[in-house]
């Protein structure tokens, strides 16, 4: 193998695939990045057997070939090399990669590429075309609600449903639920349901960056995998097996009070409350009071801690229905408000023991967020 490429392109490609490098593995090759020539381009790949990321960068190929190079060593080295062209040559007999950039000459001991797990290619003709802008926003809207511990592995994933022209993402950790929908430009050939690890979607969002070109999602039959194919990046992830909770039962069918507040004002109140609530399981109390004829309603938020002190904030609101008091984990409210871009937001509540629903206001009905109540203190 003998190739020439730009240092900045190689550094960017390595930053993408390195996220799939195994941190602890009994297979030494999984701590390496595959480097292979591929039709006048250089293919970089890494996998931990659950997640695999492949990236292609432009290169001048003089001799075809492939090897796997220790990820940390190679990434640290490439990041220290000066910008501009760099040359790489492989001694096949000793599996040593010679890397030259600027005045630097380096030899890195590698492992034969034949030991690297095969990442099978995707049949893009069977894929579902997704809008990159929608997908990026959908991931942002739901991923934080997925569980981060493995007590219930099914909840560490995001439910992805494709029904005709409708795409749905849903995530829950048992304490809140986030659901986002979007329309597909081309109806899917068949309905699809899969549970994709939240971590895989997080890496997909990172890989998307400012990308605006199309993306194809493929679910090869019988492989238990999902493949996301971009122009220069491909991400393969194992699916999570099992039955996702029937989240429709969690969503309240009715409410007695609907409160509309400014998103930013409510977010600021929640952030201030959390400073005092974090020592008290992030518990904050919401007191909603309807307004009179000439005065607006009030959403009053309070939080207190024996160690820190107390906090109170009042936000003007339009209240439809009776007054209500309810306590929520204020950190969960902040998570949702951080991703809602509309000027106003609606909070639908019933009683102090019923879940609350948060929705954007202003011509959008593609997102809802359900948060379970906490016990009201005295």
Name the packing angle between helices 263-277 and 330-339 (round to 10°). 150
**Which of 89-103, 207-221, 242-256 shows the lowest per-residue confidence on average (mean pLDDT)?**
207-221
Does the pLDDT at position 122 exceed 80?
no
Q: For each of the domains in the chain, give its residue range(s) and CATH number, in order of start.
A: 2-115 (3.10.150.10), 124-247 (3.10.150.10), 251-374 (3.10.150.10)
Q: What is the rounded average pLDDT of the residues 55-72?
A: 96
Long-range residue pairs from 340-345, CB within 8 A, at least 24 positions apart, any chain? 340/263, 340/367, 342/263, 343/262, 343/263, 344/260, 344/261, 344/262, 344/263, 345/260, 345/261, 345/262, 345/263, 345/266
What is d(CA 183, CA 303) in angstroms, rounded to the nearest whole number? Answer: 40
| C-alpha pair distances (Å), 361 with each of 205, 253, 256, 340 | 25, 18, 18, 10
Does the pLDDT at position 378 exceed 60?
no
pLDDT for res 321: 93
What is d(CA 183, CA 332) in angstroms, rounded to the nearest whole number? Answer: 27
pLDDT for res 204: 94
What is d(CA 313, CA 283) in angstroms, rounded to the nearest whole number? Answer: 14
pLDDT for res 63: 95
Identify the burial level of 235 via C-beta atoms within 10 angstroms of its C-beta, where 0-12 means exposed, 13-18 middle and 19 or more buried.
buried
What the block records as the tokens of 147 is: 């569980």
pLDDT for res 90: 97
Q: What is the rounded average pLDDT of the residues 23-28?
A: 86
Does the pLDDT at position 377 exceed 80?
no
pLDDT for res 364: 79
What is the spatial order of strands in the sheet that 225-229 belongs to? Answer: 66-70, 32-37, 41-47, 51-58, 233-238, 225-229, 215-218, 128-130
What is d(CA 256, CA 349) in angstroms, rounded to the nearest whole number? Answer: 6
Q: What is the rounded average pLDDT of the residues 94-104?
A: 95
| C-alpha pair distances (Å), 106 with each of 49, 70, 74, 87, 322 | 30, 13, 10, 11, 73
Contact (Cβ atoms closer than 8 angstroms) between residue 96 and residue 10: no
Average pLDDT, the chain: 93
pTM for the full model? 0.91
Does the pLDDT at position 125 exceed 90?
no
Name the packing angle between helices 198-208 and 132-142 (round to 10°). 140
Q: What is the rounded average pLDDT of the residues 72-79?
A: 97
What is d(CA 140, CA 91) in angstroms, rounded to the nearest whole number? Answer: 44
**Dihedral sign for Cα atoms in the order 48, 234, 145, 337:** positive
Contact (Cβ atoms closer than 8 angstroms) between residue 299 and residue 291: no
pLDDT in tens, 281-301: 899 999 999 988 778 999 999
Does the pLDDT at position 39 exceed 70?
yes
Does the pLDDT at position 52 exceed 80?
yes
Contact (Cβ atoms closer than 8 angstroms) between residue 261 and residue 315: yes
Angle (CA) 37 38 41, round 5° = 80
pLDDT for res 222: 83
Contact (Cβ atoms closer than 8 angstroms) between residue 98 and residue 106: yes
End-to-end CA distance of the chain: 72
| C-alpha pair distances (Å), 226 with each of 14, 17, 22, 165, 258 | 22, 17, 19, 19, 39
What is d(CA 138, CA 58) in angstroms, rounded to the nearest whole number? Answer: 30
Run of H or E including 203: helix 198-208
Does the pLDDT at position 234 exceed 80?
yes
């Amino acid at each position: 193998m003998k190739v020439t490429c730009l240092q900045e392109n190689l550094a960017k490609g390595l930053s993408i695939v390195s996220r799939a490098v195994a941190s602890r593995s009994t297979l030494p090759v999984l701590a390496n990045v595959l480097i292979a020539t591929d039709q006048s381009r250089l293919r970089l790949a890494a996998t931990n057997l659950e997640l695999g990321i492949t990236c292609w960068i432009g290169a001048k190929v003089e001799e075809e070939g492939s090897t796997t190079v220790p990820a940390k060593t190679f990434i640290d080295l490439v990041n220290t090399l000066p910008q501009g062209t760099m040359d790489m040559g492989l001694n096949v007999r000793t599996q040593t990669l010679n890397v030259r950039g600027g005045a630097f000459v380096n030899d890195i001991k590698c492992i034969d590429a034949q030991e690297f797990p095969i990442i099978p290619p995707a049949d893009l003709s069977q894929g579902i075309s997704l809008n990159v802008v929608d997908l990026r926003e959908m991931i942002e809207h739901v991923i934080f609600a997925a569980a981060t511990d493995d007590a219930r592995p099914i909840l560490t994933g995001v439910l992805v449903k494709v029904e005709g022209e409708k795409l749905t993402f849903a995530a829950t950790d048992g304490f809140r639920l986030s659901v986002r929908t979007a329309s597909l430009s081309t109806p899917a050939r068949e309905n699809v349901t899969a549970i994709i690890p939240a971590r895989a979607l997080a890496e997909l969002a990172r890989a998307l960056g400012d990308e605006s070109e199309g993306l194809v999602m493929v679910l090869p039959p019988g492989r238990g995998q999902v493949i996301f194919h971009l122009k220069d990046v491909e991400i393969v992830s194992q699916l999570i097996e099992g039955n996702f909770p029937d989240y429709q039962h969690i969503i309240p069918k009715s409410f007695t009070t609907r409160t509309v507040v400014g998103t930013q004002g409510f977010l600021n109140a929640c952030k201030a409350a959390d400073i005092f609530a974090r020592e008290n399981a992030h518990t904050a109390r919401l007191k909603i009071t309807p307004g009179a004829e000439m005065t607006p309603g009030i959403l009053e938020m309070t939080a207190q801690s024996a160690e820190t002190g107390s906090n109170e904030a009042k936000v003007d609101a339009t209240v439809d229905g009776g007054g209500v008091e309810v306590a929520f984990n204020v950190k969960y409210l902040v998570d949702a408000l951080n991703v809602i871009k509309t000027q106003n937001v609606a909070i639908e509540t019933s009683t102090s023991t019923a879940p609350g629903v948060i929705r954007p206001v202003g011509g959008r009905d593609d997102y809802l967020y359900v948060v379970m109540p906490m016990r009201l203190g005295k």
